[in-house]
Structure 1
């Protein structure tokens, strides 16, 4: 018995000391300097405001390698544990986003090589090896598709999907996460969508009072978050906006799905004080008014630059600040706002959602 305990402790120690892939360049716009190991990130917002899209974008960035076939595609070459409790996840959507991201970089690399040949400015950090990227670009469509599919399959080997359909299963999964974390040393990011999926169920069937429900959550999060901290992982979790503050009655009331909550509004910490005290970064998402597509794509190349982790704007020949595809004056795209709160500092960002992920827009 004693030998078994010592062996388990030794495994835990080795897993904690293991150097995991760095997320310092996960998203320079959202996380300047990168999220720190052990950081807890909470994403809030109403329905259809981009929470799942933001999560998928970060998952894709973690899974993809930093360089591939001569291109700097800005990935982290890490692993992800995804806990799906809202049951909205689609592996096809993830694969499609990865494929779109890769093909976007292929087009940028092709334009950069053409611009270099013609003497124009281009993003020098985009190309890692001229010979390898030219060889890839000169391959036929079938071979190129095979290369991309093989890369995606290789990346998805580091993606671990956990599906929870009931409250008890969700709680047990969080409490037993340590074993999976120890065995998957390439994992750097845990994503939960969402942490509050079973709140109303637990409130109705598991706890007789608000106090007992908070104690129940405190017990779960104390164990789970200690695993995240000990193994120096980054946790990103979406949380539903279930309550809003009624300033007239000076109390918190349930928030309806169609209601637009005020950005930066203090919400009732219904998941308990332990969860609230461990969150180090909060991101509140909301919808903005729509604008013409041609206005959106005017400075769209800034997103490509952020994806490739470059600090200067991308310029590709005479096509700078233009985006692929035809645009009509009647084409509109929904805009979203992301308010990042960290270390008592607030930063507001604007983005649009595309098939290859989010694209950050410069502030006007």
Structure 2
């Protein structure tokens, strides 16, 4: 007789879920996503170089007020590579507000909006594997304390792989799935979308991971719902290949004056 599986949530998760209705990340960042991502989904970004420029642009759109076209949500950044900093984010936010003249903001209003957006950014700098696992164990407490967080960005999820290897080497794909399962369990019930980066080479198989591991249609343990590959072209533009369970799209952009312009 087949056993029926029930989703079990803690008392804290239940109280958090019932206490308030949070703004989610649905229909976020249309430059890359057609109709998503949705709460609970996992987005993987990989490249042979740092993708911090793209992550920063996505974070800006996430904390930007709804009336200005953003999602107006809280973003938690687990920073293992040191590529994302508050000064860099602040500079990008200021640039966004000052270049978008159609916002019609006066200087005082601009400062208030900027402060509100910065208040919705939570950065945790992590320097070793022990800190990483401790951070994951504390994720639920962080999400309870800051109930407006709807997007968790981890750059890079696999940063401490080699430091954790000893006599027996864990396969890269198994290591990645194990970490992803830990994160998914920690954010369960909090309506959070997970976005993480990994190096392009990080795969146990000779075949590309995007070929061997299909994207899941709905949030599933250890599975990715959207995979984004970023690479630079010969003409100095960039391409993002966006793969979901049902579609593959190709988006081009360039970086001018420290900001992304979509082509």
Question: Which band: TM-score by shorter chain?
Answer: 0.7 to 0.9
In structure 2, what is the equivalent of residue 227 of structure 1? 186
* TM alignment of 1:177-188, pairs within 5 A: 177-188=139-150
* TM alignment of 1:101-180, pairs within 5 A: 101-106=96-101, 109=102, 133=104, 136=105, 144-180=106-142
Of 73, 84, 87, 1:92 maps to: 87
Q: Deviations over 1:72-128 (max 9, x none)?
A: x2111110100000012222221111111112221xx2xxxxxxxxxxxxxxxxx7x
Does 1:12 pair with 2:6?
no
In structure 2, what is the Cα distance between the partners aligned to 1:90 and 1:216?
27
In structure 2, what is the Cα distance between the partners aligned to 1:243 and 1:221?
14
In structure 2, what is the Cα distance between the partners aligned to 1:231 and 1:76?
17
- The alignment yields a C-alpha RMSD, in angstroms, of 2.9
In structure 2, what is the Cα distance between the partners aligned to 1:94 and 1:57?
9
Contact 2:178 2:222 in 1 (8 A): no
In structure 2, what is the Cα distance between the partners aligned to 1:153 and 1:353?
25
In structure 2, what is the Cα distance between the partners aligned to 1:267 and 1:28?
27
In structure 2, what is the Cα distance between the partners aligned to 1:40 and 1:350?
22
Distance 1:36 1:265, change over 3 A: closer
Secondary structure of the residue aligned to 1:339 is: strand
In structure 2, what is the equivalent of residue 209 of structure 1? 169
In structure 1, what is the equivalent of residue 242 of structure 2? 340
Contact 2:139 2:187 in 1 (8 A): no
Contact 1:285 1:336 in 2 (8 A): yes
* Corresponding pairs, count: 249
Contact 1:66 1:76 in 2 (8 A): yes
The CA deviation at 1:148 is: 1.8
Contact 1:38 1:232 in 2 (8 A): yes
Which has the higher Rg, Structure 1 or Structure 2?
Answer: 1
Higher helix share goes to which structure?
1
Instruction: With the length of structure 2 as denominator, give the TM-score of the two structures.
Output: 0.83
Secondary structure of the residue aligned to 2:231 is: strand
Instruction: With the length of structure 1 as denominator, give the TM-score of the two structures.
Output: 0.61
The CA deviation at 1:286 is: 0.5
Secondary structure of the residue aligned to 1:230 is: coil
The CA deviation at 1:337 is: 0.5
In structure 1, what is the equivalent of residue 53 of structure 2? 53
In structure 2, what is the Cα distance between the partners aligned to 1:267 and 1:338?
19
In structure 2, what is the Cα distance between the partners aligned to 1:44 and 1:230?
27
Secondary structure of the residue aligned to 1:239 is: strand
